[in-house]
Chain A
Amino acid sequence: MATTSRSSLKRYYDVNGWLFVAPAIALISLFMLYPIARSLVLSLYSGRGMMLKFSGTGNLVRLWNDPVFWQALQNTVIFFIIQVPIMITMALILAAMLNNPKLRFSGLFRTMIFLPCVASLVAYSILFKSMFSLDGVVNNTLLTIGIIGEPIGWLTDPFWAKVLIIIAITWRWTGYNMIFYLAALQNIDRSLYEAAKIDGVPSWGRFAFLTIPMLKPVILFTTITSTIGTLQLFDEVYNFTEGTGGPANSTLTLSLYIYNLTFRFMPSFGYAATVSYVIVLMVAVLSFLQFYAARERR
C-alpha cells in the first residue's frame, strides 16, 4: 500500500493527516492550552474584581504572608498524608480478600464496596451530615456502646471535623481503588501462589512478597491519582461545611480556598490563579517523587 512505503518524514508533511487531527488540536488549544497560559499570566496580576494591575511577584509575596493559605496547605497535606495511605492499604487488603476464589457472594461484596463512589455526592454529604450530627446515629451508637462519655462534635470541633472528612473520602474512594487492584490480581498467574504455598510461604508472606510487588505499577497509578484527587479535594468539604471550610478553617483545602477567593470573597482572580499554581506544582513534584520511588532498579 502507498502509505506504508512512505517515509516517516513524508508522513510528517502529509496534509491529510494534519487535517484529521486539526479539530482536536484546535479544541485542545482553545479549551486547555489557552486557559493554562492565560491563568499563568493572570497570576502576575492583582486587584479587586476587574480592576487588575500588573503586580509581578506581588501575589507570591501575598501568598507567603497569608496565614489562611498556610492553614489550607497544612490541612491539605494532613488529608493527603493520613488519608491516602489508609485508603490504599484498605483497598489492597479488600482486593486480596475478595480475590479469593473460594469466597462466596464475592460479586455482591465487590459491588457493595464499589457502590459509594457512584453514589450522588450531595446525597451522601447530606446523609453523612445527619449521621454525624451531635445527636445523630453515630454519636448515639457510640454512647450506647459506651465507647464515649459525651457526644463528639464531628461537625463543630476542629479536630473531629478533619477526622470526619477523612472518614468520608475513605468511604467514598476505597472501593474505586479496590477495583483496579482486583483487575490487576486477575492477571497474576495462580500457579505462582500455589508454588509459594508448596514452599511453605504463609499467607501474609504471599501477600507481602508476591501480591504487592506484582501490583507495583497499579499501586503507583492509584497512588498518583489519589494524590491528585486529595490535593484537589473540594466537594466533600464544600458540602459538609457549606463552603466555609470550618470550624475554624480546620477543613479548608486549597481548592476551597481558591473557590472562596474567586466567588465568596472580594474577587481576587490573580491571587486565586497563583494559589492554583501551587497545587499544580505540588502535584507535579509529588508525582515525580512517586515515579522516582517506584522506578525499575537495575
Chain B
Amino acid sequence: MDYSRAFKRSISATVAGAALLCSTAAFAGEVTIWCWDPNFNVAIMKEAAARYTAKNPDTTFNIVDFAKADVEQKLQTGLASGMTDTLPDIVLIEDYGAQKYLQSFPGSFAALTDKIDYSGFAKYKVDLMTLEGQVYGVPFDSGVTGLYYRTDYLEQAGYKASDMENLTWDRFIEIGKDVKAKTGHEMMALDSNDGGLIRIMMQSGGQWYFNEDGSLNITGNAALKAALETQARIVNEGVAKPTSGWNDGISALTSGDVASVLMGVWITGTVKSQADQAGKWALTAIPKLNIEGATAASNLGGSSWYVLEASAEKDEAIDFLNEIYAKDLDFYQKILTERGAVGSLLAARTGEAYQKPDEFFGGQTVWQNFADWLVQVPAVNYGIFTNELDTAVTANFPALLKGTPVDEVLKAIEDQAATQIQ
C-alpha cells in the first residue's frame, strides 16, 4: 500500500474539514450563554437574543438554564481544567464573584475596554469589573435596594406612609416593635445564616469588608460595626421572624407573615406574585445607619455578562452584548415592564416605563424610585473574598446575640478571615 499517498490524502481531508468548520463559523455562529433564573435572566436573555437575530438572522443563540451554583461550579471546573471548549461564549456572573474570577483565572475573560462605551453605565457596576485598567464584562441587572412594606399592617399599628419616609434603623426597630405588638406580625424575616442584610447596611454606610487596596477592613469598619449591632438589636428585640434558607424567607414574605422586606429590586416580581395582595404594598428607601456619611441607598446581589476569551464566537458575542445591552433603550423598557429588571444603563432611566405608576404599589412610580436610588449607591470594593467574609460574619454573629462585646466579635471575624483569605 502506498502509505505516503494515504497520508497526503488524510492531511488534505483534515485541512478541508478544518476550512469548512472555519467558514461556517464565520457565517453563522452559535452563541452559547449560561445563566440562571428562568423567569429573570434566562427570559431576558431570550428577549435580547430575539432582538439581535431580527437584525442578524445568521446568528443563533443557545441559552442554557442552570441553577446559579451549577453555573459557578461548571465555570470554575472548566477554567481550572483548561478545557475551554466545554465553556460557553457568554456567562452570567454575580457581582460579588466577579473579581474572584478575573483575578484567579487571568486571561480567561475578554477585555472589552475599547469595545463598549462604559460611560453610560452606573459607575459602581463598572468599577467592580475593572482589573488593572481593563474593563471586563457588560453591566446588567442592578441590585439597588428598597424597603417594601405592607400598608395594611402598618395602618393597623397606627402608621402612615409619611412615617415611613427618611427612616433610621432605630426608628425602624421602634415601628417594628409596635407592629408586632398590635398586629402579631414580625416586621421582617431574617436568616442569620445569610449575610445579606449586613452587606446591605454596610454598603449603605459606604464601606465593605475590604479597603480600596484589597486589605481587610473589619475592626476599624464603622459601617460593619453599626450593621452588626443593628442586626443584633433586630433579633433580640423580636422584630424579625427567624427563617432558614432562601425559600423559608420567601414564604414568610408571600404568605403575609411579615410586614416588610428589604431586598434588591429583583425581588419585585416575587412581591407582586401574590395578586391578592395588590394595593397592600408600598415602597420606600431603606433605613439609614446612625454613622457619618450613611446613605439610604445600597445594593444587594446583581450580576453582569462576561465573554470568554477562548470563545470561538468572541466577536459576535461582544457585538451582541454591545448592540442590545449597551445601546437598546427600548429593550430596557420592555424587560423592566415584563420582568422588573432595573438595568444599570443610565440612559434607560428616562424611558416611559419608569414613569408608569404601579397599581400593585398603590399607584406609586416604584421604578422611578429605584432609578433615583441607583445613582446614590456608594461604590465600594467588593474584593475577591466576599464569600469567605460572609461566612466569617455569620459564624461569629451568634456570639454577638449572646452579649459578647461587638469589638471582640469584630476581632474574631478578622482572625477567622485572615486565615481564609490567602
Contact = CB atoms under 8 A, between A and B. Distances in A.
Pair from one complex: yes
A133 B191 CA distance: 12
Given A49-B105, A264-B387, A266-B384, A68 B245 contact: no
A269 B80 contact: yes
A67 B421 contact: no
A129 B244 contact: yes
A243 to B, nearest CB: 7
Interface stretch (A165-173, A244-252, A287-295): A244-252
Chain A interface helix/strand/loop/mixed: loop
Contact of A51 (B106, B191, B192, B415): B106
A256 B69 CA distance: 14
B134 interface: no
28 contacts: A48-B104, A67-B415, A68-B395, A129-B245, A133-B248, A134-B242, A156-B193, A156-B244, A158-B398, A241-B193, A246-B394, A247-B192, A247-B193, A247-B398, A248-B193, A248-B395, A248-B396, A248-B397, A248-B399, A249-B395, A260-B387, A262-B76, A263-B69, A263-B73, A264-B72, A265-B391, A266-B387, A267-B104
Interface string A136-161: 00000000000000000101101000
A68 B79 contact: no
B191 to A, nearest CB: 8
Contacts of A187: none
Q: How large is the interface on A (under 10, 10 to 19, 20 to 34, 35 or more residues)?
A: 35 or more
A11 interface: no
| Most-contacted residue by chain B among A62, A129, A133, A242 (CB, 10 A) | A242
Contacts of A268: 422
B108 to A, nearest CB: 8
Nearest to B73: A263
Contacts, number: 107
B391 A249 contact: yes
A144 to B, nearest CB: 20
A50 interface: yes
Contacts of B397: 248
A266 B100 contact: yes
A70 to B, nearest CB: 10
B273 interface: no
B72 A263 contact: yes
Nearest to B106: A51
B410 to A, nearest CB: 15
A267 B80 contact: yes
> Which 10 interchain pairs have the tightest Cβ spacing?
A49-B104, A155-B244, A246-B193, A48-B104, A249-B395, A248-B398, A156-B242, A66-B419, A247-B193, A263-B73
A51 B104 contact: yes
A16 interface: no
Nearest to B394: A246
B242 A68 contact: no
Interface string B188-207: 00011110000000000000
| Most-contacted residue by chain B among A46, A48, A133, A266 (CB, 10 A) | A266
Given A133-B244, A265-B385, A68 B104 contact: no
A65 interface: yes
A137 B243 CA distance: 15
A49 B244 contact: no
A269 B80 CA distance: 9
Given A50-B82, A68-B395, A156-B193, 9 more contacts: A51-B104, A68-B391, A129-B248, A156-B192, A246-B394, A249-B391, A263-B69, A263-B76, A265-B391
Nearest to A71: B395
Interface residues of B, number: 41
A241 B193 CA distance: 9
A277 B245 CA distance: 31
B416 interface: yes
B388 A49 contact: no
Nearest to B416: A67
A159 B105 CA distance: 39
Contact of B246 (A242, A262, A263): A242
B80 A49 contact: yes
Contacts of B103: 48-49
Contacts of A129: 244-245, 248
B416 A68 contact: yes
Interface in B393-422: 394-399, 415-416, 419-422
A267 B106 contact: no
B419 A50 contact: no
| Most-contacted residue by chain B among A153, A260, A267 (CB, 10 A) | A267
A156 B422 CA distance: 30
Contacts of B243: 133-134, 156
Nearest to A46: B422
B171 to A, nearest CB: 26
Contacts of B415: 67
Contact of B419 (A68, A244, A260): A68
B381 to A, nearest CB: 15
Interface in B100-148: 100-101, 103-106
Interface in A219-246: 241-244, 246
A242 to B, nearest CB: 5
Interface in A60-81: 62, 65-68, 71
A264 B384 CA distance: 11
A266 B396 contact: no
